[in-house]
Structure 1
């Protein structure tokens, strides 16, 4: 991440967090659940298939899974099975937190910056993760089962900003996928992209970092002072 030191650093009005692959490294958990589903119903699925769906609306992803796997369950039934498996992992397994994510959340809370969770995972998964955190830092939680149109549509991020009572242009979204990044950028947020398993294309209102580990709230604040932060 390279910031222009001439830009005055302020704190963002809010920080909007993706979950999967951004706060917790759950992408291998999703892939394992997808492969288990394919084996159960005699379908065919690969790691590359799973990577194609990272960040997507779950029902849309399930429809693609049904077609590619050649299996009989409906998309709704596929989502129920997947959410149950990932939520169970969130409740009981050792979580792999992404480098610097929990520390950044704590620093933002200490600085009084409002935060929201904006995820295509369903509420059952989000709630299971939040219970594993030292405290709940999120003033709003937007999940895939609480919006009409999922990422990459801007609705999830617009919904989170409205819930917090902030201007999306004064928010920083933290994302790891192209799908989520497009959603946040379309909502008008500045996006800090920390890629995980899939590459993310450069574009308007996007800044890239290898990790959150060496960053702090002021670094996020500098993003909303960028010339393209409109």
Structure 2
């Protein structure tokens, strides 16, 4: 059993580990076009990190078609994104190396995503099925991000205190979920910009993240100090 100060690392998936948001963009645009409309950039940004049900509400309101059946839209997206995931998933900069370093240090890991299990199973062909001790999907929790339930569920399944976990996120919704759960948060924005927030360590890339940094996030909480934005040199 690891003696590392970090009890577990909890990874978001879309936009954090893999550059999948661009694939969701394709599928969302195709769905909007099939409805005879165009999804606005602001509506698409507000979907990032949200559940499928929330995204459908945003889409239908944006198109002025609130009467649309969300189940039909979700079914379309799940089919299309699954096709795109097979060949289109690419790692975000530094994500693979950090995940491998965490695993090599025998620190427990969890994948905590708003994406449904069926799509996550496709993504795991890229991420590696042995990369995570626990996988928490959006259709397997009582409430989705920004609710703390996904991260609390991951910590419970790993049998670790959430206060000793580091969550890695890319969206405001995900950051809010991890903070509400009580985890230390490392945020690396992808499609949506993030602002400095108490308890959140903001970076421009995971390429410069390492185990020492993860441990320092917990140390910073134990001895509070200002946390700024780290940028690549």
TM-score, with length taken from structure 1: 0.90
| 1:220 aligned residue | 214
| 1:80 aligned residue | 75
Q: Deviations over 1:94-137 (max 9, x none)?
A: 32210010111111100001100111111112111111235521
Q: Matched residues in 2 for 1:73 and 1:147: separation?
A: 25
Q: Does residue 155 of the first structure (1) align with residue 149 of the second (2)?
A: yes
User: Post-superposition shift, 1:44?
Assistant: 3.0
Q: Aligned to 1:227, what secondary structure does the other structure show?
A: helix
User: Post-superposition shift, 1:229?
Assistant: 7.8
User: Post-superposition shift, 1:13?
Assistant: 0.4
| 1:175 aligned residue | 169
Q: 2:40, 2:62 within 8 Å by CA — same for their partners in 1? A: no
| 1:98 aligned residue | 92
Q: 2:19, 2:91 within 8 Å by CA — same for their partners in 1? A: yes
Q: Deviations over 1:169-220 (max 9, x none)?
A: 1000000111100000000000000111211122221001111112211211
TM-score, with length taken from structure 2: 0.89
> What value does the CA root-mean-square deviation take over the aligned residues?
1.7
Q: Matched residues in 1 for 2:122 and 2:80: separation?
A: 12
Q: 1:30, 1:86 within 8 Å by CA — same for their partners in 2? A: yes
| 1:57 aligned residue | 51
Q: Deviations over 1:129-148 (max 9, x none)?
A: 11123552111111111112
Q: Deviations over 1:29-60 (max 9, x none)?
A: 11111110111121231233211111011111
Q: Aligned to 2:126, what secondary structure does the other structure show?
A: coil
Q: Tell which has more relative contact order, 1 or 2 (C-alpha 8 A, sep 6+).
A: 1
Higher helix share: 2
| 2:231 aligned residue | none
Any unmatched runs of 5+ in structure 2?
225-233
Total equivalences in the alignment: 220
